[in-house]
Every structure is written in structure tokens, then in C-alpha cells.
Structure 1
């Protein structure tokens, strides 16, 4: 990946398009937003693949991320809490929990930072009627 100076930050061009990165939200994505999005996005993608492999159908998945930064270390991210809300019909809690454990073990973004950033997860299952 190549990065180039842009107005107020840096830019990279990826196969999906241009990505502007800046400490100023008006000029691009803030680095901490990209870090959290990487963790949540990776986790969701791997979780979905695990569910698909186990043939567990879901209707919806929402992940909310809460970030805690250190007030003493230049806003260093010290923890990310992911709240998963999984909706579907006849979902079995034990199967979904096991799938989440497998996803966590296979998410490259979580594995990359888990020794320096505390990652926690909460699972909420909403069973919909037929």
C-alpha cells in the first residue's frame, strides 16, 4: 500500500476506491475510527463465515463498538467492547456463542492487537417468530 500527503492528512488508493485519513474528521477518517472499524469489520466477516459454514441462518447482525482511550498516552486505545446483536428464527444460544468463539480465534485484526488492546464482546440474541 502506498500513502500520499493530502490536504490535512494522507490518501491511499485501494481497489475499492480512495481512502482519506486525517486527524480532522472533516478531511478524512480518523485513524482510531479505522482501527475500530477494522476490528469490528473483521470480527463480523469471520463470524458470518462461521455461521454460514455451520448452516446457521440469521436475519440481521449489528455490532456496536465502544472505545476507551487512555487520557495519559496520546489517546492510545486501551479497550474495545463489541456488542453483537444477532437476529433470526430459532437461534440456539450455545451454537451462536460457540461460533463467536471460533470467529474471535480466526479474526486477524483481533489477533494482531489483543496483546495490547483489551477486546471484550457481548452477545445478544433476538429470536424472531416465524
Structure 2
């Protein structure tokens, strides 16, 4: 995998992925775009969400929505690495099985989400979930 990062002025950078997608990032604590650390947190949540939705679809669960609320704590001094990340999944749908959601979240956390598993080697990563019934 390859990517490039180009400085575009002040503390703003244009990131281009190998697949050609571009993202703006801001080194000024997220003043004009997400900061690199915010992007790491967003990547962990996105990666886990992809897993959870995919696992639930394979289990033929009628999922209408899946959202993950992320919270993180960072070390006080440099480097201000993440020390804790918590992912709270909110899965909405018709007759969605609590057991299936628990399994999907666990499989993502323990086996599939390369981002959160990688972070888990140095950060305490926790997960929980809730199921919301829809009509």
C-alpha cells in the first residue's frame, strides 16, 4: 500500500491514497480539517463498522442503520498518543438479534478490524453496543 502527503499551505496537507482518493488533513489541531489523530480514530471506527455491517448482513439480519460513537483519551504530554479508545455501536433494524450484534462486534474486535487490532497493541480498546428496534 502506498500514499502521498502534500503540504498545501499553513498546516494543511492533501493526502492521496494509492486508490486515488484524496483527503484534507490539518496539523493545527483540526482547525480546518480533521487532524491526523482524528483520522486514526475515524479509521478505527470505520474499519469496525464495515466488519459489523458485513457480518450482520451475512447473518441475514435486517439492519437499517449502524452507527459507532467513538471516544478516546490521549496522553497528556508529547507524544500525545491514544491511551484509551471506546467504540459504542448502535445497530438499528427489524428483529435484529442481540446475539448476532454481540458476535459481530466481538469478531470485528478480535479477528477482523486491522486498524483497531493494530491500535490495541498499545491502546486499551473497548467496545459495547445497543440494538434499536425499527418498524
Which bracket does the TM-score occupy, shorter chain normalised?
0.7 to 0.9
Separation of aligned partners in 1, 2:117 and 2:133: 30
Give unpaired runs (5+ residues) of structure 2: none
**Which 4+ stretches in 1 moved above 6 angstroms?**
none
3-state secondary structure, aligned to 1:3:
strand
Give unpaired runs (5+ residues) of structure 1: none
Match of 1:112 among 101, 118, 123: 118
Deviations 1:18-69 (A, max 9, x none): 4334234234321110010000000001111111111112111111111111
> How many residues get paired?
129
Normalised to the residue count of structure 1, the TM-score between the two structures is 0.88
Question: What displacement does 1:121 show?
Answer: 0.7
Q: Root-mean-square deviation (CA), in Å?
A: 1.7
The answer to whether structure 1 residue 80 and structure 2 residue 85 are counterparts is yes
Question: What displacement does 1:118 show?
Answer: 0.9
Match of 1:13 among 16, 20, 38: 16
Paired residue for 1:62?
67
